[in-house]
Amino acid sequence: MTDFYEIVLDGDCEVLKGFVAGYLAAGDLHNEVFVAREFHVEHDSLAHQLAEWIGLVDDRTHLIVPGHVHERIQLGTQRLGDRLKIKLVSSRRVAEARFEFRWQTYNRQEADRLRAAFASPPEGVELDGYEYDEQTHEEEEGQTGAYAPVHPFEAKGSGVAHGNPRAVIVWASELRDEDFVEVETVRLEYED
């Protein structure tokens, strides 16, 4: 498994975006670097999160990157940091990423599709505590009208996905595009 790191960069947000975008373009790394804010990844610095929420800090960028990119960004900030007024604040090795999810649908075809998706998560992702429940109320089949006390069919599932940071972050991003799935913020667990 590739090592992943959370890197915190300090400096003007637009300059940091340009700096990171340059490194991504130069190394064709668009699918390997994740900006925490854009991918709903929560970092564990409670004080910094609070400062961000109340608008005191907007000059830090949290990235989740594989080891080879980590080295390149460290080198880049050493070489260009003074000129661009950016610096590497911290770097931590990520053990894994995780998120909680739940889904619910009243459509059998959607239930089959979602059940299959969660029965076979992407490589590098495991599920903990996955629960699936399906209920059929045949007496409600064909009922129409303004008020339906119970749907004829209901399926739902919930659990925690965890594993390889890249695989987990990408899957969480894909699941957020699903109409019937709710995905919580991705959390990182660190080696140290």
Output the domain CATH number for residue 162.
3.30.70
Residues 42-60 pLDDT 10s:
876 555 555 555 555 556 7
For residue 64, give its domain range: 4-95
Same domain, 124 and 59: no
* pLDDT attached to residue 148: 57
Same domain, 119 and 66: no
* pLDDT attached to residue 143: 55
Same domain, 90 and 121: no
Average pLDDT over residues 75-80: 88
Same domain, 23 and 70: yes
Under DSSP, the state recorded for 156 is: E
Same domain, 62 and 34: yes
* pLDDT attached to residue 147: 55
Domain closes at, from 42, 72, 95: 95
Tokens for 27?
Answer: 């190394």
Task: With a cut of 80, say whether residue 2 has pLDDT above it.
Answer: no
Same domain, 125 and 174: yes
Same domain, 44 and 89: yes
* pLDDT attached to residue 27: 65
The total of structural domains in the chain comes to 2
Which amino acid appears at position 149 of this protein?
A: P
Tokens for 131?
Answer: 């629960």
Helix or strand holding residue 69 (H, E):
helix 67-84
Which of 72-101 are b and which e, b meaning 16 or more Cβ less than 10 Å from the residue's Cβ? ebeebbeeebeebebebbeebebebbbbbb
Average pLDDT over residues 61-85: 88
Same domain, 36 and 62: yes
Same domain, 133 and 80: no
Same domain, 101 and 83: no
pTM of the complete model: 0.83
